[in-house]
Amino acid sequence: MENDFANYNTRLDVKFDHLEKMDINEEVKACKDKWFNQTLTKVNGSVVRLGIVEGEYHWHKHDDDDEYFFVLEGQLLIDLEDRTIELNPNQGVTITKGVMHRPRAPKKTVMLMVETDSIVPTGN
């Protein structure tokens, strides 16, 4: 099955160095994409990413990496094969490696993600 990732703006470059202040509100204001992902900083072998999303991602999994989602504003629904996890502001969840999932946001949603720096965001 072929996936079209053309509408995903995924930036894997680290935008902020250690000791450099980040302003998430400014990042959100500057975003014009429906599905945006920017690596903010690296912490040891992991990265913290900002996601600004609206709509559906595709079904995927990460064979070797857990993935943590934390919603700042909006609502994120994470479909699993047997249920849907609903995340509202100040709620988070860890998706275990190897678990098929599909994130989707019925309205503009801002979230932070923590994952290894080697993860392939679109899945394996």
Using 50, 70 and 90 to split pLDDT, how confident is the model at 91? Answer: very high
Q: Is 38 left (phi over 0), alpha (psi -120 to 50) or beta?
A: beta
Determine the Cα–Cα distance for residues 15 and 96; give it in Å rounded to an integer. Answer: 26
pTM, entire model: 0.92
Percent residues over pLDDT 70 in the chain: 95
pLDDT for 4 equals: 56
Q: Could you give the dihedral angle defined by the CA atoms of residues 71, 63, 31 and 26, in that order, rounded to the nearest 10 degrees?
A: 50
Determine the Cα–Cα distance for residues 29 and 117; give it in Å rounded to an integer. Answer: 26
Determine the Cα–Cα distance for residues 65 and 50; give it in Å rounded to an integer. Answer: 18
Using 50, 70 and 90 to split pLDDT, how confident is the model at 122? Answer: confident
Q: Domain 9-116, what fold?
A: Jelly Rolls (2.60.120)
pLDDT for 61 equals: 96
What is the arithmetic mean of pLDDT over 12-33?
Answer: 96
